Chains A and B, each alone.
Chain A
């Protein structure tokens, strides 16, 4: 008996020391950088992480972005459609019309072409599938769409690429410890701790940043095109000052070849400009384009807005280009970031936004701590009055429970949120439940005339099934809550579940060590209960 008590006691002492070590960084003062002030040897060998605070406590922005994948699918289908028309023409297959309808391709052709188109689909366009094919009066009407597999792959790729692009942009925006992760089918969760005014960040994230170089169509006048619509193959886009431009719709080059982009200060009075550095392929392509189009105007189009349309004076080698416009320094910097990080494959829509200021966060922490102190004090006093010695034991167990709970939160880098704090307060009230069940049972056994020792042993043993069952049910609801919840609610679920584990350990096993020690050292004749 003596030995088993010693072993268990030793385990608890070790667990307590480990818990304290994990909690030290969270409770020592912070230095100027917000890092805990610890000795060098501590930093080298021991944990240095503070308990992580959720955005609702430390302030910051939480965004959920929906990737409009259908737009990316439409773009892909549009490209395939052009390709299909071109290949059909090359192979001399008579086709009357090829159009894109949403995410599908519709082909009108003479009935005789149907088999040839089907062969073409089977050999060269295997990512397509024929959805519908009708022949009436010598003309065929076919509808093709991307295969299920292709669609799924495209959706995944679009979301992944968006995520990567957003990550690049935010990294360069300079936010410490951002969270950027995929959520569900086509959503991306972005958490920006410390960001108070998320408008800039949102603008930066949402910008498509599709850069295109398009030739200005000088053969026709813009005025005519404005009146009667652009001729086939052309489009009208506007400049920053709403000047219309008539451009060839097919871009000569896109921003996909950008290796680097940075802001250059203004040489004259025009404000800063953004200089692009192209990669090798891009540089060669750009050289060829400029060589072929000397004296023509090349429009630099970003997200369908014309930034400038300078006349190409001569062939441009070296792979450098610049975007000028009336920029503020801040806008120029953001433009450089999005160009460096690359274009988004699909537009993003903000589905959810939660921003909390730092003052509210610290108020919440203060209120949480006060409720905790008041609430747990009430419980401690009640237990002491109601169960005397056994109540004191339960109170000691409660203190250790809180120590372990916080240590586990720190050790597992769990995020503490406002509902999480509420959870810690709540569990202080639940933690003594096991002690209540044990103590009531011991009282019952004593009333039945058992000796102190027998009553304690029977009390623990008979109360245990109910203790386990009650805690399992609460734990289960915590697990469901974790599945369901978002951000702050998950924090509550985590503290609830961890707290239940620590209460069982401290309230049942730890208090038992005390009684076993008393029983083993001297005659335990009466229990204070």
Chain B
């Protein structure tokens, strides 16, 4: 069985201008949203408390809100969590109640009054102080940036500088697209999302590596062919394997997204988008950058 027939020749590089324009618009939009609205931050980064509750019977959000009563200061956000009919809810307390200390006791007492001591279960409590949140946010951002640069340096070291630059720009694109999709889907940004972004950086570059590997091989063989033709040929020749390698990863990610549970879902979602974007960016971002670099060099000569 063959997904991409041998001898397939799609003129990818021809579409590069329109692809670059579309991607640039998408990326700038994401950057604008990041600057002006910012992502929704989970407790890991913003500080605060999140409590996961499960009830023995069907309850509504207003009922929970009423039962909780007053817990610390600030806004209390309650949302449905987990599968349909599992009666699980996430309660997010804006103000960190770490100092209050007895939050656990207070929660139990308040909920017991309405639902009875056996009517509910506190499944998870996470509290993060505001200082820790800020530190983690900073460290997370830097680790993604550092990883991206490291990939570029590695490609530079293994191939050529222009390939490294192409890879870095493609990775920035992938990370931005992933962030944009997460914001659009309304997922909170927390530590697992940073883990997903780092994995996207490490994995999306693989397709670029595969194409670069092929380009290098062709460059060795023929000196006369134009770089554009070589890149196009290389993309076409490796298209099957880039789609399949990423495809198998997407298969397991679909399984994780659907079956992995509420904590893993945003993580799987980020990887799905990021890996998918990785294939696209290799073809339509990394390759044009390499070409552009080449043209820039020629015109300065």
Contacts and interface: CB of A to CB of B under 8 A. Distances in A.
Contact of A469 (B209, B245, B250): B209
Interface in B251-286: 251-256, 258-261, 263-264, 267-268, 271
A489 B199 contact: no
In terms of DSSP, what is the predominant structure of the interface of chain A?
helix
A466 interface: yes
23 contacts: A202-B101, A352-B132, A354-B127, A367-B259, A368-B261, A370-B259, A374-B255, A375-B252, A419-B264, A425-B256, A429-B252, A430-B245, A440-B244, A444-B6, A444-B237, A465-B213, A473-B151, A476-B154, A480-B143, A480-B198, A484-B143, A486-B136, A489-B194
Contacts of A418: 263-264
In terms of DSSP, what is the predominant structure of the interface of chain B?
helix
B125 A350 contact: no
A509 to B, nearest CB: 19
Contact of B199 (A351, A378, A426, A437): A426
B139 interface: yes
Contacts of B3: 386
Given A379-B251, A470-B210, A386 B195 contact: no
Given A199-B102, A371-B255, A382-B251, 17 more contacts: A203-B101, A360-B123, A371-B256, A371-B258, A422-B268, A426-B252, A429-B251, A430-B203, A430-B245, A447-B6, A466-B210, A469-B213, A473-B202, A474-B206, A476-B202, A481-B195, A489-B195
Interface string B1-35: 11100100000000000000000000000000000
Given A202-B101, A357-B124, A426 B253 contact: yes
Interface string A325-356: 00000000000000000000000011111111
Interface in B91-133: 98-99, 101-102, 104-105, 121-129, 131-132
Contact of B267 (A363, A374, A375, A419): A419
Interface in A192-241: 197-199, 202-203
B143 A350 contact: no
A484 B140 contact: yes
A184 to B, nearest CB: 9
Nearest to A367: B261
Interface in A439-470: 440, 443-444, 447, 462, 465-466, 469-470
Nearest to A363: B261
Interface of B: 1-3, 6, 52, 54, 98-99, 101-102, 104-105, 121-129, 131-132, 136, 139-140, 143, 146-147, 150-151, 154, 158, 191-192, 194-195, 198-199, 201-203, 205-206, 209-210, 213, 217, 237, 240-241, 244-245, 247-256, 258-261, 263-264, 267-268, 271
A67 interface: no
B250 to A, nearest CB: 7
A415 to B, nearest CB: 15
Nearest to A478: B202
Contact of B143 (A426, A481, A486): A481
Interface string A367-399: 110111011101100110111000000000000
B150 A428 contact: no
B267 A351 contact: no
Given A351-B131, A354-B126, A484-B139, A470 B209 contact: yes
The 10 closest A-B pairs by CB, nearest first: A477-B202, A375-B255, A375-B252, A429-B252, A429-B249, A470-B206, A367-B261, A484-B143, A360-B123, A474-B202
Contacts of A56: 263
A353 B102 contact: no
Interface residues of A, number: 75
With most chain A CB atoms within 10 A of its CB, the pick from B122, B125, B217, B252 is B252
A309 interface: no
Nearest to B199: A477
Interface of A: 56, 64, 66, 197-199, 202-203, 349-357, 359-360, 363-364, 367-368, 370-372, 374-376, 378-379, 382-383, 385-387, 418-419, 422, 425-426, 428-430, 432-433, 436-437, 440, 443-444, 447, 462, 465-466, 469-470, 472-478, 480-481, 483-486, 488-489, 492-493, 496
A419 B209 contact: no
A353 B143 contact: no
Contacts of B263: 56, 364, 418
A351 B202 contact: no
A375 B125 contact: no
B198 A481 contact: yes
Contacts of B258: 371
B150 A476 contact: yes
B104 A198 contact: yes
Given A370-B259, A469-B158, A474-B202, A386 B1 contact: yes
B260 A379 contact: no
Nearest to B271: A426
A433 B256 contact: no
Contact of B248 (A349, A357, A433): A433
